[in-house]
């Protein structure tokens, strides 16, 4: 049972806003806080590309200043409805570097009628980490990376505490101007950009590679763009170095930015995509990153949650599950029943085969707890309804890849198994996802009577795709309903090329 934090009674709901004046884009996010729940009610993003206005003397030109001020005029109207004490406005790398930053900030403060803080690189990194930590699950040490327009932040932390952090003066806008002159996309230009980025990362790499991290998270920007490309190209997976190399070659094949067309790449991101890609390749190589997933938050979320000291952050995954159970009127007793059986089988599975790599246990628990979400609509196709719903609601504490995995499990927890969904997974995770589906299906069948203390001690023997489920002698004969359901399940798994036997 999760205890929500109550707001003071004279503030039944409050609005908060964070404004992030980045080197590439300006962002405004507005949230509403009701009964301890934080709901995003507005987002505005404009590509200002402030860093592109920096000349060789580190002066912002008039055109870039005007672009920034015009954007802030649109933000100002939205901020009029927010209590002044609930607004935080910060600027990052470009205004740290620009010698005439005061010219911009003085007029910006007049437009917004609010104080603007130019935060240090270290403070930016700290806020980014907090934004990631508040919206992601605690899985031990986490490496967090944010590639901005003029700076890149690297942070290692554990739960809500950043352990070591650094802000490097390299970004997708500044690297575009420096290494892709004339908008040429060539092998040589990429090599120069990657080499320059590696030189900067290598200087600090030892402070990060000495840690064992359980997950690497990318905060928006380039990682988000790459994830969208992978999804558009039918790849449901984390970001991996071989994917980055493939995207680099796709860029080179296009020869120029004008000709850069990659399936899944948004037009607004096209100009700075190659430079961001080069920086990310350098980070993967220098820090020996195996894979990266997208976080749920970044700087703006860090600013928001920093103002919400009264919001207690417990287990963010369990909060998400409990909120959906309440919202979709899920039978929580049955959800826990299925989850307990699934975990019993998963433990035996993990003792006999490798199921590491994608936090499979957490995905299995979420899918087991939420597998009846679709009953909110109707019974016959509730597995499909549930998968659709879970693909379109917030899943705080889970990465996009994990949310897709949960959706896949719910879709396949009953009736026919959809083989095509597994083809979207990387070879390393495809087998794990198949095993999780099999565990969840068995757990649902074994809990079909919705009754506690019914099941005996179970034993699962696994040898590749051959699974053997062993019951006490005579138990299946005494429970013909479950015996019949398991017989049908044997046939469903046989159609997938899997073997299931029960005795």
Query: For 387-429, how does the pLDDT look when each residue is reduced to its tens digit (9 = 90+)?
Result: 999 999 888 778 777 888 899 999 999 999 988 877 776 666 7
pLDDT of residue 442: 95
Token pair recorded at residue 274: 């190659």
- Helices 241-254, 273-287: inter-axial angle, 10-degree rounding: 150
Look at residue 500 in the predicted model and tell me its pLDDT: 94
What does the pLDDT look like over 37-92, one tens digit per residue? 678 888 898 989 898 899 989 999 999 999 999 999 999 999 998 999 899 999 99
The SS3 assignment for 355 reads coil
Q: What confidence score (pLDDT) does residue 431 get? A: 81
pLDDT at 138: 63
- At residue 47, the 3 state secondary structure works out as strand
Average confidence score pLDDT of the chain: 89
SS3 442: helix
For the whole model, what pTM was predicted?
0.73
In the numeric block, which tokens belong to residue 363? 């995905």
Q: Confidence band (pLDDT; 50, 70, 90) for 8?
A: very low
Residue (of 49, 56, 35, 43) closest to 17 by Cα position = 43
Tell me the C-alpha distance between 75 and 21, whole Å: 11
Q: How many residues does the chain have?
A: 503
Neighbours of 404 (CB within 10 A): 23
Write down the pLDDT at residue 161: 87
Q: Which range is least confidently modeled, 21-25, 40-44, 239-243, 421-425?
A: 421-425
Backbone angles phi, psi at 166, to 5 degrees: -155, 150
Contact 199, 285 (CB under 8 A): no
Cα angle 45, 46, 48 (rounded to 5 degrees) comes to: 140
Report the C-alpha gap between 238 and 236 in whole angstroms: 7
- Extract the tokens encoding 66: 């005007």
Specify the range with the lowest mean pLDDT, choosing from 146-150, 258-262, 318-322, 489-493. Answer: 318-322
Question: What pLDDT score does 1 carry?
Answer: 35
Q: What band does 356 get if pLDDT is binned at 50, 70 and 90?
A: low
Q: How many other C-beta atoms can be found within 10 angstroms of the C-beta atom of residue 290?
A: 13
Q: What is the pLDDT of residues 415-473, one digit of tens each?
A: 999 888 777 766 667 788 899 999 999 999 999 999 998 999 999 999 988 999 999 99
pLDDT band at residue 358 under the 50/70/90 scheme? low
| CA dist., res. 231 & res. 265, Å (int) | 11
Q: Please, what is the angle between helix 187-202 and helix 172-179, to 10°?
A: 130
Q: Nearest CA to 275 among 159, 141, 125, 170? A: 170
Per-residue b/e over 305-328, b at no fewer than 16 CB within 10 Å? bebbeebeeeebbebbbbbbbeeb
Cα 267 to Cα 208, 247, 318: the distances in Å are 34, 16, 37
Higher pLDDT, 191 or 140: 191
Give the integer Cα–Cα distance in Å for 53 and 58: 9
Beta bridge partner(s), residue 437: none
Assess contact for 282 and 244: CB atoms under 8 A.
Answer: no
Q: Which residue has the tokens 């806020």?
A: 127
pLDDT band at residue 5, thresholds of 50, 70 and 90?
very low
The yes-or-no verdict on residue 12 having pLDDT over 50 is no
Between β-strands 499-502 and 152-158, what pairing exists: parallel, antiparallel or unpaired? Answer: unpaired
């Amino acid at each position: 049972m999760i205890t929500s934090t109550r707001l003071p009674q004279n503030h039944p709901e409050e609005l908060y806003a964070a404004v992030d004046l980045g080197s590439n884009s300006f962002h405004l996010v507005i949230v509403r806080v009701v009964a301890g729940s934080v709901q995003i009610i507005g987002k505005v993003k404009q590509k200002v590309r402030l860093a592109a206005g920096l000349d060789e003397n580190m002066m912002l030109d008039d055109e870039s200043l005007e672009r920034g001020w015009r954007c802030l005029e649109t933000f100002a109207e939205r901020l009029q409805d927010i209590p002044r004490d609930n607004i935080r406005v910060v600027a990052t790398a470009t205004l740290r570097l620009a010698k005439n930053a005061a010219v911009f900030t003085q007029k910006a403060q007049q437009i917004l009628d609010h104080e603007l803080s130019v935060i240090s690189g270290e403070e930016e990194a700290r806020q980014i980490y907090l934004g990631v930590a508040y919206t992601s699950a605690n899985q031990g040490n986490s490496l967090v990376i944010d590639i901005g327009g003029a700076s890149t932040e690297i942070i290692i932390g554990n739960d809500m505490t950043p352990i070591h952090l650094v802000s490097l003066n390299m970004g997708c806008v500044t690297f575009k101007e420096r290494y892709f002159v004339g908008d040429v996309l060539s092998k040589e230009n990429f090599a120069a950009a990657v080499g320059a980025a590696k030189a900067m990362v290598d200087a600090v790499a030892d402070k990060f590679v000495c840690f064992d991290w359980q997950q690497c998270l990318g905060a928006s920007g380039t990682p988000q763009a790459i994830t969208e490309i992978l999804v558009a190209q039918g790849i449901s997976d984390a970001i991996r170095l071989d994917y980055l190399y493939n995207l680099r070659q796709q860029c080179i094949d296009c020869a120029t930015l004008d000709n850069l067309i990659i399936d899944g790449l948004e037009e607004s991101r096209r100009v700075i995509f190659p430079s961001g890609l080069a920086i990310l390749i350098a980070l993967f190589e220098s820090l020996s990153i195996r894979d990266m997933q997208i976080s749920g938050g970044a700087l703006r979320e860090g600013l928001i949650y920093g103002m919400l000291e009264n919001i207690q952050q417990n287990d963010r995954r369990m909060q998400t599950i409990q909120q959906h159970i309440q919202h979709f009127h899920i039978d929580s007793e049955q959800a826990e029943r299925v989850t307990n059986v699934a975990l019993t089988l998963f433990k035996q599975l993990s003792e006999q085969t490798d199921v590491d790599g994608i936090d499979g246990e957490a995905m299995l628990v979420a899918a087991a707890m939420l597998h009846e979400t679709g009953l909110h609509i109707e019974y016959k196709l509730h597995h499909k309804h549930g998968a659709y719903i879970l693909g379109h609601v917030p899943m705080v504490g889970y990465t996009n890849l994990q949310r897709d995995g949960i959706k896949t499990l719910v879709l396949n927890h009953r009736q026919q198994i959809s083989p095509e969904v597994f083809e979207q997974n990387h070879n390393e995770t495809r087998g794990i996802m198949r095993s999780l589906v099999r565990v969840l299906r068995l757990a649902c069948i074994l809990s079909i009577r919705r009754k506690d203390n019914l099941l005996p001690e179970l034993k699962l023997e696994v040898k590749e795709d051959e699974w053997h489920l062993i019951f006490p002698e005579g138990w299946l004969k005494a429970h013909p309903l479950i015996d019949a359901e398991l017989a049908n399940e044997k046939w469903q798994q046989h159609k997938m090329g899997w073997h299931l036997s029960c005795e």
